[in-house]
Amino acid sequence: MVAASYKEDLAAEPASTAGAALDIEHVSHAFDLDGSVLSVLDQVSLNVKPGEFVALLGPSGCGKSTLLRLIAGLEPPSRGVLKEDGRAITGPHPSRVVVFQDPTLFPWRTVWNNVALGPEAQGNLKEQRSRVDDAINLVGLSQFAKAYPHQLSGGMAQRVALARALVNDPSILILDEPLGKLDSLTRLTMQSELVSLWRSKGFTAILVTHDVEEAVFLANRVVIFSDRPARIKADFQVDLPYPRHRGDPRLAELRRASLSHLGLDASW
Amino acid sequence: MSTQSVIGAERDAPGLAAAAPAARPSLDPGLLYAAAGWLAAGTITLFWPNTKEFAHTSDFGVGQWLFAALLVVGYLFSGRLGAVSRWLANNALRLLALAALLTIWQLASAKLGYWPQPYFPPPQGVLDAYVKDYPRLLDSIRASLVLLVAGVALGSFAGFLTGLSTGWSPKVGYWTIPVLRLFGPVPATSLIPIVVFVFPSSFSGGIFLVALAAWFPVAILTWSGVSSVDNSYYDVARTLGARQRFLLLKIAVPASLPHLFVGLFMALGSAISVLVVAEMMGVKAGLGYYLDWAQGWAAYGHLYGALIIMSVLFSSLITLLFRVRDRVLVGRKGEVQW
């Protein structure tokens, strides 16, 4: 489904790691809600190796998305430090791009102009016009470059959001339930596309998801959070080569193990 | 991926759907009814004797006949005159109703004398005013347009800047919000007694009043537009490397444009009413002044003539604004509905 151009590369080794290391050190975070303090993250520490694909799993509202906002630099943590390749994260930077659950495309911009937003904001659109074309190509939407967001389906809009992130060549791609609102067939297609993109580009991927199957199918490491305030409950490797098969008995095993950490293994 | 179906869904868009029925080749009898109506109206105008002398009665009747003939031509060429045919087919029944209304007016004023004269002259009385007084009317249109366009442009620009800075910066808002709250609702016309002695000329005073009337709605709507921009737009842009300037000019401004156009629409409405009052009360030019003058000289044909010109002129301005909006907000059909 994604343009064939990069599928050929898949046989080759994953690209040399363009990804960055991410170190989360004793991070706690709390919100002030009308005077009462709501603690959402409690002493979270996590070291992500360059090029790793980490899935963050946890109950709804446990603070995973807050952690992503901290990684993106959209908010400073109440306590603790986050570091990208050893440098403390103090604000947003195009090397760490977020793809949100809603595509959040700008309705007044065409697909092309949405994807071009990063280079435009950074002031180097002139040199990067072909990169914008490439990114749109990569997600298979070159025919829709001039379309407006309201003309796109949910899956297409999320691909545009992905292209808009990838055009910046991020070293850490932050995915906040990016497939959460898609229908199940589109979702399966886009899961495979995400893996392909990650394998060809080599960025570090941090994925928040509610979907246990998605987590074990995509990631090579799964981190499970407790209820709010979020603490790390489990952290394990998914030692399966790519491309993976959904029917793999090892995946079913890992899935059951993850569900038991979440206290949901009764139905299995 | 359901690529085809999504793009196919676009065909449901009203603009495209409306084009389809126009190709229908069958003749629409609606235009014939309208032509018959105008023929009858012209006949009544020409052959029913007036209760008193009115200039241009026969000219007006012949004009109605000519229009009937044009409608017959339109009927014969149905569907072959492009946009004209479409407009005629759409408005045939309205044209019939217009003929009926003109005839009622004609009968009540000139033919039966129900309506007292000279207050309610027949339609040919208006025609008479146009024929005799068109240079002055054109001059009044020009004067009104200059005042309106200058005032609305200045007021909207100031209102846009006020609303934008109020919505963007809490520090500015601290000062501008009380001003908007307190002085915004004061009708611009209530300042006329002050404007009269503060401004050096009635022209500059008129511009100030029109601008003030336009300023308030544009400021309020732009403010609400800027403050209702979804925060996730800013988050996305910030992670992509956008700085404050970019967020303001490339996110906040375009995101609030739909609100701005609602504000401009309201501004135009209140600016027009202030314009007419200002022209009646001090500015010695323009359509409002013309109305005042016509009333003073009991030239009622001129009065109605000016009113008709005002309705056509101002509704054209609003249509123009809507056209501009559709141009500017292209691609946002899903978002804007009014």
Q: What is the CATH number of the domain that holds A43?
A: 3.40.50.300
Q: Do residues A177 and A83 share a domain?
A: yes
In a mutational test of the B interface, the residue from A66, A95, A117 whose CB has the highest number of chain B CBs within 10 Å is A117
Q: Do residues A76 and A191 share a domain?
A: yes
Whole-angstrom Cα distance, residue A260 to residue A233?
A: 11
B253: which residues sit within 8 A by CB, 6+ positions away? B164
Q: State the nearest Cα–Cα gap between B131 and chain A, in angstroms.
A: 49
Percent of chain A exceeding pLDDT 70 equals 92
Does A2 have pLDDT greater than 70?
A: no
Mean pLDDT score across all residues of chain A: 82
Interface contact flag, A186 B334, Cβ < 8 Å: no
Number of domains in chain A: 2
Residue A268 — pLDDT band, cuts 50, 70, 90? low
Residues of B in contact with A117 (CB under 8 A): 236-237, 240, 242
Q: Kindly state whether residue A5 falls inside one of the protein's structural domains.
A: no
CB contact at 8 A, B237 and B247: yes
Residue of B2, B236, B243 lying closest to A104 (CB–CB):
B236
B239/A contact by beta carbon, under 8 A: yes
pLDDT score, position B309: 93
SS3 content of chain B, % helix, strand, coil (to 5): 80, 0, 20
Residue of A1, A118, A150 lying closest to B240 (CB–CB):
A118
Interface contact flag, A92 B251, Cβ < 8 Å: no
b/e for B114-135, b at 16 or more Cβ within 10 A? eeeeeebbbbbbbbbbbebbee
Whole-angstrom Cα distance, residue A103 to residue A186?
A: 15
pLDDT score, position A1: 42
Residues of B in contact with A106 (CB under 8 A): 233, 251, 254-255
Q: How many CB pairs under 8 A join A and B?
A: 90
Residue of B3, B6, B240 lying closest to A94 (CB–CB):
B240
Q: Which residues pair with A33 in a beta bridge?
A: A36
Whole-angstrom Cα distance, residue A138 to residue A173?
A: 16
CB contact at 8 A, B163 and B309: no
Give tens-digit pLDDT for A247-259.
788 877 788 878 8
**CA closest to A99 among chain B residues:** B236
pLDDT score, position B22: 47
Residues 27-46 on B with a CB inside 8 Å of A are: none
Q: Kindly state whether residue A254 falls inside one of the protein's structural domains.
A: yes
How would you classify the pairing of strands A36-48 and A22-33? antiparallel
In a mutational test of the A interface, the residue from B4, B236, B251 whose CB has the highest number of chain A CBs within 10 Å is B236
- For residue B221 the two structure tokens come to 């709507």
Q: Kindly state whether residue A134 falls inside one of the protein's structural domains.
A: yes
pLDDT score, position A192: 85
A156: which residues sit within 8 A by CB, 6+ positions away? A141, A144, B1, B3, B6
User: Which residue ranges make up each domain of chain B?
Assistant: 12-111, 123-328
Interface contact flag, A153 B239, Cβ < 8 Å: no
ipTM, two decimals, is 0.84
Whole-angstrom Cα distance, residue B229 to residue B231?
A: 6
Give tens-digit pLDDT for A90-138.
888 888 999 988 889 999 999 999 999 989 988 888 888 888 998 898 8
Residues of A in contact with B230 (CB under 8 A): 104
B270 or A10: whose pLDDT is higher? B270
Domain boundary among A169, A193, A216: A169
Q: Do residues A184 and A217 share a domain?
A: yes
pLDDT score, position B222: 94
Lowest mean per-residue pLDDT among A55-59, A175-179, A225-229, B48-52: A225-229
Distances (CA, A) of B161 to B154, B167, B245, B253, B256: 11, 10, 15, 11, 13
Interface contact flag, A107 B335, Cβ < 8 Å: yes
Q: Do residues A143 and A159 share a domain?
A: yes
- For residue B200 the two structure tokens come to 């050096």
The CATH T-level fold of domain B123-328 is MetI-like fold (1.10.3720)
Q: Do residues A124 and A146 share a domain?
A: yes
Whole-angstrom Cα distance, residue A19 to residue A221?
A: 15
- For residue B299 the two structure tokens come to 């030239």
Q: Which residues pair with B308 in a beta bridge?
A: none
CB contact at 8 A, B166 and B176: yes
Residues of B in contact with A155 (CB under 8 A): 1
Q: Which parts of chain B have pLDDT scores under 70?
A: 1-27, 331, 333-338
pLDDT score, position A14: 42
pLDDT score, position B26: 59
Count H helices and E strands in chain A, helices first.
8, 10
Q: Do residues A197 and A266 share a domain?
A: yes
Q: Do residues A82 and A160 share a domain?
A: no
pLDDT score, position B317: 92
A203 or A16: whose pLDDT is higher? A203
Residue of B6, B7, B331 lying closest to A108 (CB–CB):
B331
Interface contact flag, B240 A117, Cβ < 8 Å: yes
Interface of A to B at Cβ within 8 Å reads: 1, 69, 72-74, 92-94, 96-98, 100, 102, 104, 106-108, 110, 117-118, 120-122, 147-153, 155-156, 164, 168, 186, 189
CB contact at 8 A, B225 and B286: no
- For residue A131 the two structure tokens come to 């990169």
Q: Do residues A26 and A146 share a domain?
A: no
pLDDT score, position B207: 92
Q: Do residues A181 and A261 share a domain?
A: yes
Q: Do residues A255 and A184 share a domain?
A: yes
- For residue B161 the two structure tokens come to 């800047």
Q: Do residues A215 and A116 share a domain?
A: no
CB contact at 8 A, A223 and A232: yes
Which helix (H) or strand (E) segment holds residue B226: the answer is helix B202-227
Interface contact flag, A168 B255, Cβ < 8 Å: no
- For residue A40 the two structure tokens come to 């959402």
Q: What is the mean pLDDT of residues A200-211?
A: 87
Range of the domain at A140: 106-169
